[in-house]
Amino acid sequence: MASISSDRKGNRRVFFSGPNRKRRTVYLGRVPMKTARTYKVHIESMAAAVLHGHAPDPETSEWVGSRDDVMYGKLVAVGLVPARESAKTENQADNQAATLGHFLEQYIGGRTDIKPSTRCNLEQVRRNLLDFFGAERLLESITPGDGDEFRVNLLNKLGENTVRRNCGRAKQFFRAALRKKLIAENPFADMKGCAVKATTDRMYFITLEEAAKVLEACPDAEWRLIFALSRFGGLRCPSEHLVLRWADVDWERSRITVHSPKTEHHEGKESRQVPIFPELRPYLEEVWEQAEPGTEFVITRYRSGNANLRTQLERIIRLAGLEPWPKPFQNLRSTRETELAEKFPMHIVCAWIGNTQAVAAKHYLQVRDEDFDRAARHDAYSDARATHIPTQQPTGDSGTSWQETTQAHVYHGLMPQSSSVCYNNPKGLAPRVGLEPTTQRLTAGRGGT
């Protein structure tokens, strides 16, 4: 049996079970439902003929013969009819171009605008797609259901965020194929969860005591600076560390111009300025004093492409007597942004760190145990009251301004200290005595002192 499906744009497709009982799809494009039903009937006839090894009925054979080369090619792609002899040679190049392997090779090879690291990531997704679908698989034959199966297959081998990245890049590949009109729809278009998800369970705050131990275990001044630039400067490692030049260091104004390879393709995000924080300055000066005259780059010893700084940092952390934390350099940046957010407005902090407030809130800012402890202490509550509750200064015997002030306090979610005062009290009774000491003004109605 076959079935018809329509999307929101009016594109229709016919689903049917092929000879191997695997669901196949014939994309019809924007056609009337009556036309789609005609396709459905003849596709059911052809599928039954292929399954049982006999020729389709004459009406279906005549209908198939009247199809144009494009539609006939779609029927060939799903195994319902043999290729037309006259079109085999002519369409050989087109069929090759329509295969997954050939398209991915051409697409990645043609992306001369991407960095080597991005190319490496695209190649990884290409290998995953070819391992699952095969290089000879026709692009047009890959359905959204196939995309779902591809994702499940990856989840059995890779982490959640890695799978999200892979599926996001697969969506990018097929979007390019759609723009070239090689396919009628992107099988990954409706797939949700293709962006990296914030994982707070992998966040870790590196305290100043831990940072001091790691700095002491570093083998040389450059490694101490690499760590300090991440922990106290909030730089991305290794990309921003390795492009940092001494010409970027403004000693007089205590600023560093940080060039960012990650965000340079965004207008206005090629670089940013970061203060030479007091915690960072000693390590920067130490390397400056050791630098040979005419040295261009700040970091010179660890610039090799095979220098895995993350692995080396984990080794140094263990030498310091600590257990390596998740995402070592990412959490150093996260720690610094969390610290700075306690002292400076967020728009300033994000300008220094080089991200947006939305990204900072989702992926960088941490809530620590000490934040809960500080919030639960009485002195922190008192500080909050002193900050948010204005001084009560009633004037004369008029209760108007007093009432307005009290209402303003209630709107802030906090009652004033003498919240039990009864306005318009006909008996002139004083309020009940609460936790706060009574005053002469409040007890005057009772004749007390």
How far apart CA 195 and CA 160 sit, in angstroms, is: 10
State phi, psi for 101 to the nearest 5 degrees.
-60, -45
Could you tell me if 170 and 150 are in contact, meaning their C-beta atoms sit under 8 angstroms apart? Answer: yes
pLDDT given at position 405: 43
pTM of the model: 0.53
Q: Which residue has the tokens 């490692």?
A: 237
pLDDT given at position 258: 94
- Shortest CA distance to 106 belongs to which of 21, 180, 42? 180
Task: Give the three-state DSSP class for 25.
Answer: strand
pLDDT given at position 396: 45
Task: Give the three-state DSSP class for 399.
Answer: coil
- Shortest CA distance to 211 belongs to which of 87, 81, 313? 313
Whether the ω angle into residue 238 lies within 30 degrees of 0, i.e. cis, is yes
CATH number for 204-370: choose from 3.90.1200.10, 1.10.443.10, 2.60.40.10, 1.10.3720.10: 1.10.443.10
How far apart CA 110 and CA 130 sit, in angstroms, is: 19
Assigned CATH topology for domain 100-197: DNA polymerase; domain 1 (1.10.150)
Sequence-distant (≥ 6) Cβ neighbours of residue 389 within 8 angstroms:
409, 412, 414, 416
pLDDT given at position 350: 92
Long-range contacts of 112-119 (CB under 8 A, 24+ apart): 115/261
Residue ranges matching CATH 1.10.443.10 in the chain? 204-370
pLDDT given at position 379: 59
432 HSE (CA, 13 A, CB side): 4
Could you tell me if 277 and 232 are in contact, meaning their C-beta atoms sit under 8 angstroms apart? Answer: yes
pLDDT given at position 97: 56
How far apart CA 97 and CA 104 sit, in angstroms, is: 10
Residue ranges matching CATH 1.10.150.130 in the chain? 100-197
pLDDT given at position 50: 80
**Residues of the chain below pLDDT 70:** 19-21, 85-97, 198-200, 304-306, 378-449
pLDDT given at position 19: 63
Tell me the C-alpha to C-alpha distance, in Å, between residue 399 and each of 406, 423, 427.
11, 8, 16
Q: Which residue has the tokens 């092929």?
A: 18
Task: Give the three-state DSSP class for 277.
Answer: coil
The total of other beta-carbon atoms located within 10 Å of residue 225's CB is 25
Could you tell me if 416 and 390 are in contact, meaning their C-beta atoms sit under 8 angstroms apart? Answer: no
Could you tell me if 214 and 204 are in contact, meaning their C-beta atoms sit under 8 angstroms apart? Answer: no
- Shortest CA distance to 25 belongs to which of 47, 48, 10? 47
Q: Calculate Rg over the CA atoms of the chain.
A: 34
Sequence-distant (≥ 6) Cβ neighbours of residue 99 within 8 angstroms:
135, 136, 137, 138, 139
Task: Give the three-state DSSP class for 329.
Answer: helix
